[in-house]
Amino acid sequence: MPVVNAAQYRSMLQRAKEEKFAYPAFNVTSTETVNAVLLGLKAANADGIIQVSTGGAEFFSGQGVKSMAKGATAMADYARFMAAEYEVNVALHTDHCHPKHLEGFVLPLIAETEARRAAGRPNLFNAHMFDGSELPLEENIRVSSGLLQRCAASEIILEVETGIVGGEEDGHDTSGVGKDKLYTTPGDMVAIHRALAPLGAYMLAATFGNVHGVYKPGNVQLKPSILREGQAAIAAAFPGASAMLVFHGGSGSSLAEIHETLDYGVLKMNIDTDTQYAFTRAIADHMFRNYAGVLKVDGDVGDKKAYDPRPYLKKAESSMAERVKRACEDLRCAGRSAGRTL
């Protein structure tokens, strides 16, 4: 399937809401990791999301370019081209754009979509994320509102965040923030909905103790009930309404915690750390098993079949694809691909 259009993506999200499952959103950094996501979704017979962060996009562009916008554009075009060969549906997102990166990341990508639409071409991305959680809530809402108005005009969904996801990602370190900042309040969720819902479709990364990076189960105190309370507050203020929620920082979360969030309206869960490990673990295994072959030890010539990048990158792709498949199973979307029926 080609990458879905705006109407198809709305249909995917509505189905997830009604059937209480979520789409995994996999961060990618290279063509190999894009291929791994597509392979894993195919194996799981699941629809899903491919996304790229500021750092991932810059890396995708190569060290000779180092452009977040160009790297993201290249990733989206590559993913669109290859996704057409698979019988699953794929949406494209950007991830965590902090205020300082708007001018170099999200805004040029929105402009690219506007230019493509004017030429009769599909949108570049289905959704963009603005992470204004470091700003006071009022300023976060002000900037988010302006972005959503522009996104909505091009049928782009805007993902926003209130509260702070702890830990470190792409060089953005929030490990020193107070624990109270890791929990979004019902009032925050109502304020976001009041401001954004009239402007267009939005997703909310409401925080409930989430932490980016690696941690063992039990080391982070997740409170999924915060999502339930926030949704109840939205429904009380706006009868019949609810927010499309996103789960960030889920590495190490128990399956019970993940499933609880699905019951409260999480439709998208970001996955990066676990797939990074799966990709690298396979390469490390290859290197350790073929140490003398990948290096010209003691003046020897090595083994070209061992140091050719293709064999170990194939292993990495397969290993990451298995982790993608497992994520689909955890989020209850495995076996649910809408295929070409959208």
Q: Which of these, 201, 185, 180, lies nearest to 14 by C-alpha position?
A: 201
- Summarised one tens digit per residue, pLDDT across range 38-50 is 999 999 999 999 9
95, 131, 188, 272: the catalytic one is 95
Q: Which of these, 263, 179, 191, 190, lies nearest to 228 by C-alpha position?
A: 263
CB 170 within 8 A of CB 51: no
Alpha carbon 98 to its chain centroid, in Å, reads 15
**Of 220-229, 257-266, 287-296, 333-342, which range is least confident?**
220-229
- Summarised one tens digit per residue, pLDDT across range 137-164 is 999 999 999 999 999 999 999 999 987 5
Beta strand 202-206 with 168-169 is unpaired
**pTM beyond 0.85:** yes
CB 122 within 8 A of CB 3: yes
The DSSP line for 102-139 is: TTTTHHHHHHHHHHHHHTTPPPS-SEEEE--TTS-HHH
CA atoms 322, 95, 134, 70: torsion sign: positive
**Of 15-19, 60-64, 168-172, 193-197, which range is least confident?**
168-172
Q: What is the mean pLDDT of residues 230-247?
A: 97
Q: What is the mean pLDDT of residues 258-269?
A: 96
Domain ranges of the chain: 6-341
Q: What is the mean pLDDT of residues 262-281?
A: 96
Crossing angle between the packed helical segments 273-289 and 309-330, to the nearest 10 degrees = 150
- Summarised one tens digit per residue, pLDDT across range 182-237 is 688 999 999 999 999 999 999 999 988 766 555 555 555 788 999 999 999 999 99
With 90 as the cut, is the pLDDT of residue 132 above it? Answer: yes
Res. 174 pLDDT band, cuts 50 70 90: very low
- Summarised one tens digit per residue, pLDDT across range 272-288 is 999 999 999 999 999 99
> For this structure, is 95 an active site residue?
yes
The domain 6-341 belongs to what CATH superfamily?
Aldolase class I (3.20.20.70)
pLDDT score at 167:
42
Res. 180 pLDDT band, cuts 50 70 90: low
Res. 177 pLDDT band, cuts 50 70 90: very low
Burial class from Cβ neighbours inside 10 Å (0-12, 13-18, 19+) for residue 181 reads middle
